């Protein structure tokens, strides 16, 4: 009878409502694409069934009020009509949601091709795949940045090779040239021969220094350098370095003024720290105006010791200052000179300071150049 049919419809509607509520509760958790599709499927089935149920109730009421024989015949078969309605609708709905994952798969396949394209096109996917879309766009950005970094590394490598070729070839050519003259002229006067030998030896020493610097920075990059730590009195160490560099300073009329606090002891490698201070002092001497003062100061804070090297010279441009600690980085006038190093001194100094757990920075303004070292105090 009608009451039984209505009861069945209500029971079915209650079941679909229960499934819908279960699907909505999933939204409070981490929703996957599969769960999103499930929720949409249940919602579609529920709405379709509710609409069908409403239509059946309406038709059942209309048919019950009519005396038409055809409508009376249909009235007796509203349950069949409802079942046919449900079967046809459910088939269409399930067919639609069956095709959805395959459409998503096609989108993902196309997106993976977009990821590796060398352009600014972003991946665009359907709403249920937004999380994947964001991940693929991040991957594409990473790929582009990696390729850009690889290109920059390749350019830097070519630049390094060019610099090495220049730095090594110049003294080597001089050594070969003077040795050839000595070989081809056995009866050369002793005074001239002594001069040529001295020049060749000086250039050979510079060539050895360049090669040693190259090997040294390679060891730092390979993280094979081990510090020989001991308690170091920085006041005494810096004073000793200044004494050793004094001839270099006095050649251009420069002077070094050193001021320091008491008790500047740290736990470090004295030989490598001396190398840092020597590099910075030689660097200051090389780029100072003649007859100017180079200031070195060391002061203690709660947990650190700050050491500052300051000299007066041509202001370093910001773009050069940003790369001053990079390997093979030298200012143009030093690159063109025959006396400059390989451009590894500051890079080696930075590596040594980092091994000690400290920092080193550079600044330049108003014809003043400063290097500031911060080292942790030993406990």
Per-residue pLDDT tens digits for 243-271: 998 888 888 889 999 999 888 889 999 99
Q: Is 289 helix (H, G, I), strand (E, B) or coil?
A: coil
Q: How confident is the model at residue 337 (pLDDT cuts 50, 70, 90)?
A: very low
**Do 59 and 46 meet the contact criterion of CB atoms below 8 Å apart?**
no
Instruction: Give the pLDDT confidence score for residue 32 in this predicted structure.
Output: 67
Closest CA to 282 of 349, 212, 237, 360: 349
What's the whole-model pTM score?
0.55
SS (H, E, C) 228-262: CCEEEEHHHHHHHHHHHHHHHHHHCCCEEEEEECC
Flag whether pLDDT at 16 surpasses 60: no
Burial of residue 215 (number of CB atoms within 10 Å: 0-12, 13-18, 19+): exposed
364 or 133: which carries more pLDDT confidence? 364
Measured CA to CA, the distance from residue 109 to residue 336 in angstroms comes to 55
| 358 C-beta neighbours (distance < 10 Å), count | 21
Residue with tokens 């396949």: 109
| DSSP result, 152-178 | HHHHHHHHHHHHHHHHHHHHHHHHHHH
Flag whether pLDDT at 374 surpasses 90: yes
Instruction: Give the pLDDT confidence score for residue 353 in this predicted structure.
Output: 93
Closest CA to 168 of 176, 178, 157: 176
pLDDT one-digit tens code per residue, 136-162: 888 888 888 888 888 887 877 776 677
Percentage of residues of the chain with pLDDT beyond 90: 22
Torsion over CA of 4, 5, 11 and 13, rounded to 10 degrees? -160
**Sequence-ordered alpha helix ranges (H) in 66-184:** 69-75, 78-115, 130-184
Structure tokens at 152: 């920059």
């Amino acid at each position: 009878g009608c009451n039984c049919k209505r009861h069945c419809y209500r029971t079915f509607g209650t079941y679909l409502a229960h499934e819908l509520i279960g699907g909505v509760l999933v939204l409070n958790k981490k929703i996957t694409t599969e769960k999103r599709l499930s929720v949409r499927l249940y919602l579609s089935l529920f709405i379709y069934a509710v609409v069908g149920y409403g239509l059946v109730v309406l038709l059942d009421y209309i048919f019950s009020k009519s005396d038409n024989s055809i409508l009376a015949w249909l009235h007796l078969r509203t349950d069949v009509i409802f079942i046919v309605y449900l079967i046809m609708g459910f088939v269409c709905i399930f067919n639609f949601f069956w095709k959805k994952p395959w459409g998503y798969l096609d989108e993902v396949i196309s997106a993976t091709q977009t990821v590796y394209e060398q352009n600014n096109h972003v991946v665009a996917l359907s709403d249920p795949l937004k999380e994947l879309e964001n991940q693929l766009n991040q991957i594409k950005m990473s790929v582009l940045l990696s390729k850009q970094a690889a290109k920059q590394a390749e350019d830097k490598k070519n630049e390094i090779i060019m610099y090495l070729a220049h730095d090594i070839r110049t003294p080597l050519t001089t050594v070969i040239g003077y040795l050839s003259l000595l070989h081809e002229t056995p009866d050369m006067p002793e005074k001239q021969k002594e001069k040529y030998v001295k020049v060749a030896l000086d250039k050979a020493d510079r060539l050895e220094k360049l090669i040693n610097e190259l090997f040294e920075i390679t060891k730092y990059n390979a993280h094979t350098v081990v510090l020989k730590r001991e308690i170091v009195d920085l006041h005494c160490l810096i004073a000793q370095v200044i004494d050793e560099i004094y001839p270099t300073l006095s050649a251009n009329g420069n002077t070094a003024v050193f001021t320091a606090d008491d008790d500047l002891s740290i736990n470090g490698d004295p030989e490598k720290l001396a190398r840092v201070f020597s590099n910075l002092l030689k660097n200051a001497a090389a780029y100072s105006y003649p007859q100017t003062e180079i200031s070195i100061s060391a002061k203690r804070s709660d947990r650190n010791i700050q050491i500052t090297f300051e000299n007066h010279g041509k202001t370093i441009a910001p773009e050069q200052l940003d790369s001053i600690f990079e390997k093979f980085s030298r200012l143009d006038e030093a690159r063109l000179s025959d006396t400059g190093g390989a451009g590894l001194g500051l890079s080696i100094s930075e590596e040594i300071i980092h091994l000690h757990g400290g920092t080193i920075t550079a600044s330049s303004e108003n014809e003043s150049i400063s290097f500031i070292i911060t080292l942790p105090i030993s406990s």
